[in-house]
Amino acid sequence: MWDGLLPEITKTHRVITFDFPGHGKTPSISKVHGMELFAEITSALLAQLGIAEATIIGHSMGGYVAMAMAEKYPGQIKKLILLNSTPAADSQARIENRERALALVPKAKDAFVGMAITNLFNEASRIKFEKEISALKAEALTFPLEGITAAIAGMKDRKDRTMVLKSFSKPKYMICGVHDPILPIDDCKKIAEQTKTEFFSVNGSHMNHIENTTEIVKILHLIENKCI
């Protein structure tokens, strides 16, 4: 997910990327992988590596994990960045969509993965990034069935952490896509205003780190160079 950003960011920073349980080569460990569990794993990884404080950037579900971490382990976070993500809980419609997904995945994993990844991009991006989308689908299809359902269940059950973001006293940022089909840009702006979070909009959909790699790198460098 982060390979496109690494060549530039690693010129000036130590960057750690890892697979959550049920993703990549990391096996599943529960029927439900809650955001709190993922936050605990992230915290433990930092401690194991001897890192007292780090800038945390989470994309989509990773942002939900970052918010769980901001609630439970705020001392380990230097700066908090939500990329195409939100502190809000799922809407009722979104919860119902996830419940349908949980019923569908065991019956048609391949079809679900293909549809889910395609839907992260708007129509224009689907054409422009056809190669990248195919690569994402191929990798996602290697994930174990139980890992996919555990993550969906964890996202469905997550709580609203808007007030956690509002009370988070360290530098905090939201980077959102103007054409994001998952998180409407106006909703993101509203939350940023409510929580006093610095806001960046990018002319992309839900996968800005793929669609606008250069611009995301510039924003990340800008954030890291801020003194506050």
Question: How confident is the model over 86-143, as pLDDT tens digits?
Answer: 999 999 999 999 999 999 999 999 999 999 999 999 999 999 999 999 999 999 999 9
Q: Which of 44, 3, 4 lies closest to 20 in space, CA to CA?
A: 44
CATH number of the domain where residue 82 is located: 3.40.50.1820
Range of the domain at 107: 6-225
- 144-202 residue pLDDT tens: 999 999 999 999 999 999 999 999 999 999 999 999 999 999 999 999 999 999 999 99
Compute the 3-state secondary structure of the chain and give helix, strand, coil in percent, each to the nearest 5.
55, 10, 35
Confirm whether 1 is domain-assigned. no
Confirm whether 136 is domain-assigned. yes
Tokens 């997550």 sit on residue: 158
Number of domains in the chain: 1
Enter the pTM of the model.
Answer: 0.95
Confirm whether 49 is domain-assigned. yes
Confirm whether 198 is domain-assigned. yes
| Contact predicate 60/179, CB 8 Å | no
The DSSP call for residue 141 is T
CB atoms near residue 173 (< 10 Å)? 21
- Specify the pLDDT at position 227: 56
The one-letter amino acid code at 177 reads G
Confirm whether 121 is domain-assigned. yes
Confirm whether 52 is domain-assigned. yes
Confirm whether 135 is domain-assigned. yes
Q: Which residues contact 228 (CB under 8 A, 6 or more apart)?
A: 171
